[in-house]
Amino acid sequence: MNVIANNCPPLVASLDDALHEIFGFGDFREGQREVVEAVVAGQDTLVVMPTGSGKSLCFQLPACVIDGITLVVSPLIALMKDQLDALLEFGIPATFINSSIGLEEQRSRLREIVAGRYKVVYVAPERFRNQGFLDAIARVRVGLFAIDEAHCISQWGHDFRPDYLTLGHARTLLGCPTTVALTATATPNVQQDILRQLSLPDANVVVSGFARPNLFFEVFHARRREDKRHRIRALLNHYSGESAVIYCATRKQVEEVAADLKQGGIEAGVYHGGLGDAERVYVQDAFMDSDQPVLVATNAFGMGVDKSDVRAIIHYNMPGSIEAYYQEAGRAGRDGEPSHCLMLYNYADRGIHDFFIGNSNPTAQTVQRLWEALAKHGVGTHALSTDQLAQHLSRGKNAERVHPMAVEAALRQLRSAGHIDYGYRDGYPWLQVVDQARVRDLRIDFEGLQRRRDAEERHLLDVLSYASGQSCRQQFLLRYFSSKKSAEKTCGNCEICSGRPEYALKASASSGTTSAGADRIHSLDPPELLVRKLLSGVARARGKWGAHNVAGMLRGSAAKKITAAGLDKLSTFGVLSYLRQQDVVDLLDLCQRCRLTTQNVHGCVSLTDEGAEVMMGTRPMPDALQQQLAMRLSFGAQSPTRPTSSSTSTSAPRAPTISAEGASSDTYERTLDMVRQGMDYDEIAKERGLTSASVLRHFMVLANDGHAIDLEGHLDGQILPMLRDAAQDWVFGAPLAPLKERMPASCTYDALKIHLVQILMERQ
């Protein structure tokens, strides 16, 4: 029989008293009252609110007005102390129990809990495996069970923690107290999963606070590193002297970006997992105090950082999930002032994520081969390092290269299954083989590993659809988290709804024609004619297509979506074939900003009355547009980035790419169909009776038009980076000979083309 030693009476009588007297807040924030009232009334509740919106109050305040203690599960031991200090400041008796405190202290805290000294107790999830803790907690009345970072319970989430899976059972052990689960990031799927894992089918779900109308969301498609850097400098200059964070995927990039900023006269702090503790604290403090307001960091930065006046959050690479993105980007503008969230997007950055996903979730085969290698050493302790093991596994005729990171992940799996243990002694690694289990008897959840890998891949695809999508950024994010659709047609605060932001226009205007002039658009038409061509294209598309399709049509793209839609039959098909896709999109954007065109909810563009008149020549171009074009366009002479067109051809635009190649778009379509069937280029060549050189040329055309082509097995890890470098200024259609000269003799024309196909895809 459990003895309830003390039932911890409420601290105050009413919710409002608690809010004013204990917390000293004037009002509830959005969503808080609803949650607090439900929880106090004994209703299980799932709270989904973004970071910084005040989730803690949703359990801290009920903790003050209910009988018994509130047990809070939190995965982040490092943050418990801060949370605790905050509670103690409010005068709420609270403590935590985790592995950071000694055993004696743990026992003494448990005694105090049983004696009823605390209203709130924080624990990490693994605490529920500790019998002493379970015995003690059985003797107190738990009035509220609060599970923070509840998405960690879901394998669909972005931060699954196996220890969280025990919480459903723990809740039963506690006698099924009222439960509140909280998270900043849970898609509708993950929400369902949380409720299922905790066996709370009837819980009340409160999703609120995701709209961040003061944040401007922008995605910039960066072809080259220099484009990214240029853009970063422009945005930082726009917010000169104010706080900004640039997130990079790797430590190396953090260092590079910071060095680059320094060259441009911007001092930035760097923050990543490779720094010592003291250094990290120093950098973080300098940022918090705005002594050094610009910070370049990996995602190691930000947990528990609450700086309200961050004006810009820039992602140098696309992040691995929308959850991570929203969490990081959401650190901008907590004070409600206009702020900017910029994602720099380059398809090639996907490779970094694929690398991490692959190596942090090793395949069954890697784990099994590793185990075979380890078991051979016999039970006992051995001096083996991760690198040695990786080398060992990579040896052999058909062995794939195994990265040390994958070995580390596989070792972790073997360790948590109890087959091995390892560590460092006097600076040397040791590894203990504990048993001699047969491979098929390994106690490892290989399916779970595969599921996690799949989940991470799905998350990455969501980011790709955010970045490559052409719909309102704000609405995409809102829909992602709450499946609610806002009634607003356009948010007015993303680059899709309101066009390119001012800082970017200023930046491209000031960049002149030097290397940063990649932003300049080289026009073969005088500005009035160019604009009238654009507007005619919009008119011909009859309000049924978005800017990207209209642009594709104007460029004479062979993409299937263009031909399937019949856009290739329009008289304006290909009239701007000499421009790049992004340039046409940018120009359409300008037209929209100058109110010559407008966009509906679905992103379809159409002419305004004013636009129709400008198209027909019955009204002059708006001054604003003339000025913008004067800054954006270059004429006549060769563009530094587009050496294809001869300088004398100003009067006659090149015909659409396709016919210039002397072939009908049909031939590309047929090649594309075969690509989609999974055929290799030599197979296609054979099937169609063409040379491989021709098929590779088709590939280049297709890649340039945005089609994905699987080049697996054809890419060479040495040639590719070399060619990326050599082809920095090469544009589609330019001769290949100068490129070939810069490559090793062993690189044939075919090889050159294959790698160019890859590079063209990366540029999309």
Please give the residue whose beta carbon sits closest to ligand ADP in the complex: 54
User: Binds 29, which of Zn ion, ligand ADP, none (CB < 5 to 8 A, cut-off by type)?
Assistant: ligand ADP
User: Binds 90, which of ligand ADP, Zn ion, none (CB < 5 to 8 A, cut-off by type)?
Assistant: none
The SS3 assignment for 301 reads: coil
- Residues in contact with Zn ion by CB under 5 A are 472, 474, 491, 494, 497
The tokens describing 124, both together, are 């990490």
User: Binds 54, which of Zn ion, ligand ADP, none (CB < 5 to 8 A, cut-off by type)?
Assistant: ligand ADP
The SS3 assignment for 583 reads: helix
Sequence-separated (6 or more) residues with CB below 8 Å from residue 38: 45, 204, 206
User: Binds 474, which of ligand ADP, Zn ion, none (CB < 5 to 8 A, cut-off by type)?
Assistant: Zn ion
User: Smaller CB distance to ligand ADP: residue 19 or 534?
Assistant: 19
User: Smaller CB distance to ligand ADP: residue 30 or 441?
Assistant: 30
CB of 491 to Zn ion, least distance (A): 3
Strand duo 380-382 + 428-433: pairing = antiparallel
Q: Closest Cα to residue 220, out of 459, 500, 522, 493?
A: 500
Q: Which residue has the tokens 């409600």?
A: 336
User: Binds 754, which of Zn ion, ligand ADP, none (CB < 5 to 8 A, cut-off by type)?
Assistant: none
Cβ atoms of 754 and 714 within 8 Å: the answer is yes
Sequence-separated (6 or more) residues with CB below 8 Å from residue 291: 285
Q: Closest Cα to residue 602, out of 687, 663, 544?
A: 544
- Residues in contact with ligand ADP by CB under 6 A are 25, 28-29, 32, 49, 51-57
CB of 486 to Zn ion, least distance (A): 10
CB of 347 to ligand ADP, least distance (A): 33
Planar angle of CA 88, 89, 93, nearest 5 degrees: 25
Cβ atoms of 45 and 38 within 8 Å: the answer is yes
Sequence-separated (6 or more) residues with CB below 8 Å from residue 196: none
User: Binds 49, which of ligand ADP, Zn ion, none (CB < 5 to 8 A, cut-off by type)?
Assistant: ligand ADP
User: Binds 494, which of ligand ADP, Zn ion, none (CB < 5 to 8 A, cut-off by type)?
Assistant: Zn ion
Cβ atoms of 75 and 147 within 8 Å: the answer is no
Cβ atoms of 586 and 576 within 8 Å: the answer is no
CB of 52 to ligand ADP, least distance (A): 5
CB of 212 to ligand ADP, least distance (A): 13
User: Smaller CB distance to Zn ion: residue 324 or 472?
Assistant: 472
User: Smaller CB distance to ligand ADP: residue 140 or 207?
Assistant: 207
CB of 479 to Zn ion, least distance (A): 12
User: Binds 558, which of ligand ADP, Zn ion, none (CB < 5 to 8 A, cut-off by type)?
Assistant: none
CB atoms within 10 A of CB 713: 6
User: Smaller CB distance to Zn ion: residue 219 or 507?
Assistant: 219
Rounded CA separation 230/511 (Å): 9
Sequence-separated (6 or more) residues with CB below 8 Å from residue 728: 224
Rounded CA separation 321/540 (Å): 38
User: Smaller CB distance to ligand ADP: residue 52 or 448?
Assistant: 52
User: Smaller CB distance to ligand ADP: residue 36 or 137?
Assistant: 36
CB of 275 to ligand ADP, least distance (A): 25
User: Smaller CB distance to ligand ADP: residue 53 or 361?
Assistant: 53
The DSSP 8-state label assigned to residue 300 in this structure reads T
CB of 327 to Zn ion, least distance (A): 20
CB of 494 to Zn ion, least distance (A): 3
User: Smaller CB distance to ligand ADP: residue 235 or 477?
Assistant: 477
In the chain, the amino acid numbered 234 is A
Rounded CA separation 400/386 (Å): 16
User: Binds 53, which of ligand ADP, Zn ion, none (CB < 5 to 8 A, cut-off by type)?
Assistant: ligand ADP
